[in-house]
Structure 1
Amino acid sequence: MVERSGGAVPESDARTPRERYRAQVRDEVKRHAWEQIATAGASALSLNAIAKRMGMSGPALYRYFANRDELITELVRDAYRSLADTFQARAQAGADLADLARALRGWALDDPQRYLLVYGTPVPGYQAPPDTAQIASEMMAILLDAAAAVEVSAADAVATPLGEHLADRRAWAGGHPAPVPALRRALAFWTRLHGVLSLELAGHFTGMGFDPARLYAAEVDTLTGR
């Protein structure tokens, strides 16, 4: 997992002192960036403001990140990698679809700004790097494995317009051999649970008088056939 903060350098680290120092500075920049995002949002991210907080000049900081978009890209990659590693660890421990749903919610609530950076409103003028699609495909493969393990009910087996559509359009699934009911279930998992989380973390349930955790749990039960 990629951590935001720098830790102790292991004895086996083969990097030069200069390389280790560069990594430490980049980690510190990212910590300040997350603080900025939590305060004012990703659109207001400013390398010059971070440089001032660190006691550096703007040009000096640009030796570590060429521009704002490069910094955002690092944060986005770290966020995607963190969630993918969370899913991978749960899958290796034998997690089912409900376990993965709980892992997703726990990861989102642990750091809402990290979640909203990758699944919230896009940053104006910013384009996510192509390699994040590969990380996303790792997560989808884990979800499809778990969805395929759910027992297919009589209702699931009934042909639907969406199922027929997905049967011939599997590119988003990365060639995974999951049957159509599993494709539908995994896609519903990703869209419906992210929908609940996005509304909750953006504060849209505030004042409505119900517990979003119960809504999320009910969606999970529906998706897993419980």
Structure 2
Amino acid sequence: MAAEARSPRARYREQNRAEIKAAALQQLAEGGVQAVALTRIAKDMGLSGPALYRYFAGRDDLLNELIRDAYDDMAQVVGRVGAVRADGARAALHALAAAYLGWAVEQPHRYLLVQGTSLPGYAAPPDTLLRARAVLAPFLKVFAAGVPAEALRPLVDETAAWVRKERDVADWLAQHTGLAPQDDAAGTALAGAMLVWSQLHGTVSLEVSGQYAGMGHRAQTLLAAQIDTLADSFQL
């Protein structure tokens, strides 16, 4: 059955919400998360303050939406790369990492919104955890096929215990790899995902915040070297 047509009022509401979020993203790009101000958005849109609160309950509610959108967009970009490639797991790992970096470099204000320093007193909604895991999910399948170096054994053991203890983690892993908590590869997949996330977060955060400026290297080159080293440690 075809979905019912939205009413003019519903379309108007969605349009206004989209315009408010676009204005907030512009403020975010210009001055960071501290610059997001509903009163200024209302003024620019020709709305009264109370009218704006019909669409968002407050600044935190608006930030919640921007964070959800950013994670969903990032997950879509990384997910399109896929984790199964004819040229092997190492190539898949490089492609996934490059997609992550590319999204962040293209939209640094959105990356810093989800991975940077949050506003005092602000807490992201609980459902952002699931969205963050969706970004990381394609990496799980890559590392599930790996053979970790002996030096990684303590981390693999800890992540194996984690997946056996936490049902939601086990469900997440099973959804994307088909692995059960007792499978030997479960700890390996999670350890690899944690390691690559740490590498990505460090390098990408430094790049988008301008910390590499004038240092004589490209973030892409540095990240490629890190990914190769990580792939070596899992025999990918």
TM-score bracket relative to the smaller structure:
0.7 to 0.9
Report the CA distance between 1:157 and its aligned residue.
5.2
* Alignment-derived partner of residue 158 in structure 2: 165
1:124 to 96, 100, 120: 120
Say what the alpha-carbon RMSD is for the aligned residues. 2.4
- The number of equivalent residue pairs is 213
| Partner residue, 2:141 | 145
Taking the aligned partners of 2:12 and 2:206, their CA distance within structure 1 comes to: 40
The two structures have a TM-score, normalised by structure 2, of: 0.82
TM-score (norm: length of structure 1): 0.85
| Runs of 4+ with >3 A deviation | 92-95
| 1:38 CA drift (Å) | 1.1
- The higher-RCO structure (CA 8 Å, 6+ apart) is 2
In structure 2, how many angstroms separate the alpha carbons of the residues matched to 1:161 and 1:92? 26
Q: Is the 8 A contact 1:141 1:174 kept in 2?
A: no
1:63-212 aligned at under 5 Å gives the runs 63-91=54-82, 94=85, 96-150=92-146, 152=147, 156=149, 160-170=153-163, 171=166, 174-175=169-170, 176=173, 177=179, 178-212=185-219
Select between 110-119 and 175-184 the one with higher mean Cα deviation.
Answer: 175-184
Select between 156-165 and 201-210 the one with higher mean Cα deviation. 156-165
Q: Percent identity?
A: 45
Give the equivalent residue in structure 1 for 2:53.
62
**Against the structure 1 CA distance between its residues 172 and 45, is the aligned structure 2 distance closer, same or farther, given a 3 Å change threshold?**
farther
The aligned residue for residue 229 of structure 2 is 222
1:38/1:22 CA distance change after superposition, 3 Å: same
- Does the CA contact (< 8 Å) of 1:147 and 1:185 recur in 2? yes
Identify, as 1 or 2, the structure richer in helix.
2
Query: What are structure 2's unaligned runs of at least 5 residues?
Result: 86-90, 174-178, 180-184
Amino acid at match of 1:80: Y
